[in-house]
Amino acid sequence: MKVKLDEVLNKIEEYQALTGQEGNHIDELRLFVKFYFIKSKYLENTERRTIELNLYRLLNIELQFSYHSENDDAYEVIFNLINSMIPVPDNMNVSYVT
- Nearest residue to 77 via CA among 35, 19, 22, 5: 19
Residues 52, 11 contacting (CB under 8 angstroms): no
Instruction: State pLDDT tens for residues 7-46.
Output: 999 999 999 999 988 889 899 999 999 988 887 677 888 8
Cβ atoms within 10 A of the Cβ of 11, count? Answer: 18
Q: Where are the domains of the chain?
A: 5-85
Decide: residue 29, CB within 10 A, 0-12 exposed, 13-18 middle, 19+ buried: buried
Instruction: State pLDDT tens for residues 44-94.
Output: 888 888 888 899 999 999 999 999 999 999 999 999 998 888 755 565 555
- Altogether, the residues listed in the chain come to a count of 98
pLDDT computed for residue 98 by the predictor: 47
